[in-house]
Structure 1
Amino acid sequence: LCILFYWQWQKTDHIGCNGEGYPPFWNRTSSSLEDFITEHKIVINFWNYLDRMSIYRTLLNATSSYIYKTESKIMRNVLWGLPLQHGWQYQTGRLGDTANVNNTKQQSLDPTISPRSWWACMNYYLCAIPFLGAVDAGLFNNFPHEIELTQPEEFPSDFCSGVTDCKISCPEAMNSRQVAEQSSLNNSEEEGIVSLMWKAHVESIRIALPICSKRLNYLSAPERNFGRNWAKAVEFLAAAYFPTDFESVNNFQMYLPPRRLKEGDKAPNIADFGMEQNRIVFALDWLNKANIFSGSKCLELSKTLHCWVRVVKG
């Protein structure tokens, strides 16, 4: 089953980006930390979609200036996967208050991110940690200000608020991110950067899973199952060094669920999902089951296959 999934994944047809492909409201985000300076401090509201997306944009700009020298190559920045995933979560209603498990409508103009959202909690560790890792690596030395990440009123202890705080609460993730971001400064080998970024990404998810788990109760059973499957699938994508540039992520996200799953949804027969969207939900479920049943041998086999492919390619 593991090999069949790998084969199906690899043969999936990729098509061009839909429209411009940018995350929702990208043109309303900031690209500089200057916009967040308040009384000699940089204060960022991580519970506002536009603020969180702005941090992703500043990360893209900071790293692109080192390793992607021309405009045509900036879209190859391996960090594009982070804002594009955040945009998908927002567009599909996964960042709002999910207490009503059957309300799967998209958020429209409300930029509020709910601390009750499992997806928002997980994403926090995939935004705050990369950003603070970049700060620690020296990518923002031109902003000698204290950085403060605002905390939500609910579950505030689940989130760190600055470099020092995060180094104490999740040192492994911070160290992985600091190393990955530092490589952007000193290394132009794209494959090496992709490898480090995926390693840091997996580490951040490992740290976030137990912290965010209490929010799974706010999700419908199918959405809860999909979220767990997605978190495990990231390890398979990491093993494959899945490219996270602008075009590759856009192509992939076209197959992801267009809304939260609700009670009664059962892939591959969800009526308002496309064939590929049904197939992805179904395949991820079976992949996770196969991996559990095999005692994680499915993931180990995937890592071996991709390692062998990279050796053959030279």
Structure 2
Amino acid sequence: MLRPAALGLLLACAASLGGAAVILENGWPILWTQTAGQVADMPSHEGVMTPDPWHFLHRMSLYRLLIAATDPFMGSMGTNATDSPLWGLPLQLGWMLTSGRLADPTGASTCGLETGEKMCVSTHSWWGCVNYFTSVLPFLSAAQKGFMGAGVQVQMQVPEGVTDYCTTYADCSTRFPDAMTKWDAFFQGLLDAADSPLPDNEKKDALLGLYWQAQMASTYASSACSARRSHYSSEEVSFAKSWENSGEYVAAAHFQSNLEKSALFITPLPGRVLKSGDSAPSIADLSEAENHTLYIFSWINSANTMLAGSLVRMWRSAMCSVATREKGREMLEQLLLNPGFATSTFLSIISEMTTSC
């Protein structure tokens, strides 16, 4: 749970910027208390765990079980119970639910609608598809590494007629070998860190490096979801692309996506699906914080496009040491959370940091 000071910082930031996304309940991810607290609480068939990732509470349960199983190996992340970088994942999923992004974008069903099947995750949702790669894949990898118990086997449920989602460790490893290999490397890194003689700050940086390599491999693998973008407005598609692109920056900076930091970054994300005509920073029914975040995401993506991808390359080059990565994380916080921070300052600092490497 958030420390009082951290929670106060979050609330102050949300109040000053007018944040809209509801991602926390009593300091925990939304609906956290309704999720499975242990492996035995999940459905099973003939000794095989059979979660249904198309039900929000099941998918959120994957995160709760994953965090609980890996926490004993996260000592280098800090002394707080919510310092694991995995906390960013349930907060992100909660935002997708409350913003309507897990609902059926085709309008052919009531899946995910407030007035319909609220806990349903649509197989047609681009957001739900992309999230599959950062929920199901890491869970299957962790189970394979023994984090869920010795010999635990997992088979994900899938709606009838849906064939483009992998459902087992072997299946996902065959279809998306790079992503599964990198998740395996992260979970093995957690196991190895227990016996590592490295000081905690170096362990932490190395583990965050492995974590973000896996996260970005999942993002690249989720290109399999691309056809689902056709169900959304061009404004939502543009935001989705810039949202994906933002991962390159937080990954290179080894961002520690714990509960506190993730809440600060996710709270100002747009609280509804964008529609035709939405143009930040002047979307009337979105808050100042949402408009600012959309504007910054768009600016970063546009700048990178105009520079033929060199902004991302410069940023990666600048994130060459523990010290520059720490400075990079501070810059990202300023850029996203401080409306007074000039984008030109961001570019000039990147240039300076690149030369220092």
Normalised by the length of structure 2, the TM-score is: 0.77
1:164 maps to 2:149: no
Deviation at 1:157, TM superposition (A): 2.5
Deviation at 1:300, TM superposition (A): 1.1
Pick the aligned partner of 1:196 from 210, 221, 230: 210
Pick the aligned partner of 1:132 from 135, 140, 155: 140
1:198, 1:241 within 8 Å by CA — same for their partners in 2?
yes
1:5-20 matches, cutoff 5 A: 15-16=9-10, 20=26
SS in 2 for 1:123: helix
Quote the residue 2:29 is aligned against: 23
Deviation at 1:281, TM superposition (A): 0.7
Quote the residue 2:154 is aligned against: 147
Give RMSD over aligned pairs. 2.6
Deviation at 1:35, TM superposition (A): 1.7
1:136-285 matches, cutoff 5 A: 136-142=144-150, 144-153=151-160, 156-187=162-193, 189-209=203-223, 211-285=224-298
CA distance in 1, matches of 2:149, 2:160: 31
Which residue type is aligned with residue 264 of structure 2? N
Which residue type is aligned with residue 133 of structure 1? S
From the superposition, tell whether residues 235 and 167 of structure 1 become closer, same or farther in structure 2 (CA, over 3 Å): same
Pick the aligned partner of 1:84 from 83, 91, 97: 91
SS in 2 for 1:76: coil
- Range with bigger deviation, 40-49 or 182-191: 182-191
Deviation at 1:44, TM superposition (A): 0.7
CA deviation vs aligned residue, 1:200-243 (integer Å, no higher than 9, x gap): 1001010112x101110111221111111111111111112222
Quote the residue 2:71 is aligned against: 64
From the superposition, tell whether residues 281 and 147 of structure 1 become closer, same or farther in structure 2 (CA, over 3 Å): same
Quote the residue 1:117 is aligned against: 125
CA distance in 2, matches of 1:158, 1:25: 28
Deviation at 1:308, TM superposition (A): 5.4
From the superposition, tell whether residues 240 and 251 of structure 1 become closer, same or farther in structure 2 (CA, over 3 Å): same
CA distance in 1, matches of 2:175, 2:31: 32
- For structure 1, the 5+ residue unaligned runs are 1-13
SS in 2 for 1:181: helix
Quote the residue 2:15 is aligned against: none
Which residue type is aligned with residue 215 of structure 2? H
Which residue type is aligned with residue 16 of structure 1? L
Normalised by the length of structure 1, the TM-score is: 0.87
Paired residues, number: 296
Which residue type is aligned with residue 150 of structure 1? Q
Q: Percent identity?
A: 30
1:91, 1:107 within 8 Å by CA — same for their partners in 2?
no
From the superposition, tell whether residues 313 and 234 of structure 1 become closer, same or farther in structure 2 (CA, over 3 Å): closer
- Range with bigger deviation, 220-229 or 298-307: 298-307
From the superposition, tell whether residues 106 and 157 of structure 1 become closer, same or farther in structure 2 (CA, over 3 Å): closer
Deviation at 1:72, TM superposition (A): 5.5
- Range with bigger deviation, 271-280 or 55-64: 271-280
2:146, 2:152 within 8 Å by CA — same for their partners in 1?
no
Quote the residue 2:314 is aligned against: 301
- For structure 2, the 5+ residue unaligned runs are 1-7, 12-23, 195-202, 328-357
CA distance in 2, matches of 1:288, 1:183: 32
CA deviation vs aligned residue, 1:222-281 (integer Å, no higher than 9, x gap): 111111111111111111222200000011112111111111111000112222211111
